[in-house]
Amino acid sequence: MERVLITGAAGFIGSHLCDKFLKEGFRVTGIDNFITGSPKNIEHLVTHPHFDFIEHDVTRFIDIEGKLDYILHFASPASPIDYLRIPIQTLKVGSLGTHNVLGLAKAKKARVLIASTSEVYGDPLIHPQHEDYFGNVNPIGPRGVYDEAKRFQEAMTMAYHNFHGLDTRIVRIFNTYGPRMRLNDGRVIPAFMGQILRGENLTVFGNGKQTRSFCYIDDQVDGIFKLLFSGYHLPVNIGNPEEISILDFAKEILELTGSKSEIVFKDLPVNDPKQRCPDITKAKKILNWQPKVDRKTGMIRTFEYFKSLSDRELYNTEHKNFDRFIKR
């Protein structure tokens, strides 16, 4: 049985990756320090015979006993609320954490996949964004701690690949959504759905003409899985190229949920990207991958998940960690 280590295992995407690899017959070891992840996301796995968990901060030395065949590095704050609240930790996990993960991969002779982001393109000057575009990033802006952490992460990964011959993969993840997202993480889908469930108005920033494209979690995980087992080491965009403006998206969610909430407008945050849409030509050609779940289906599934949350989770506006019976 091959073994995979997943950092950020208690996060949104990380926890779904744990499910995927267990389903595919791997032994899975998860790492998380719960700074943004939640034990609730993996509590269904604690009794699984092929899953074990280590509570650990990857910015400190990582010591894993036994063989490792694959490492997926998904430890990182990933929403504006998080990386504005904990900017130093965001920079450290992208730099020190990545260094530790790459060093572990080198020691174990493991293939490593690094989770990068569409944010490396910044507020893009080309549209849609393809992997050869270098980006338009403000390194000292409020989003710079996340953007530059991920750009540095890619640079270090390529350095290990070129200098040490490490077997590496880089995925650039575009907006992804689905069950286990934190309702209060500041991204548009949980923000809108949380406001609807609390009977509040929907907040649209700027004039709402800025665009996003949304990829359902099952499609994202499938793309990541295929990339890991491909022979391609350069960055690959994984996302859904179906683009929609934020204002139209707000109207779509109101119609989908039958909500009577109204739309209110607030000032656009600094350096908020005006457009975000992936060119997935490489993913189609190299991985034979493209998204399958349409937005309406994915949104219904996600809204049903948010409706199942307790009132405490629904009205809690700050991230809280919860104690669970997890092997430390």
CA distances from 139 to 123, 150, 168 (A): 12, 11, 26
d(CA 207, CA 195): 19
Distance, C-alpha 273 to centroid of its chain: 17
Beta bridge partners, 243, equal: 213
User: Among 7, 20, 139, which Cα is nearest to 78's?
Assistant: 7
Query: CA 134: distance to chain centroid?
Result: 21
Q: Could you list the active site residues? A: 146
**Cβ(176)–Cβ(214) under 8 Å?**
yes
Tell me how crowded residue 88 is: count the other CB atoms within 10 A of its CB: 8
Please state, in angstroms and rounded to a whole number, the distance separating the CA atoms of residues 50 and 327: 13
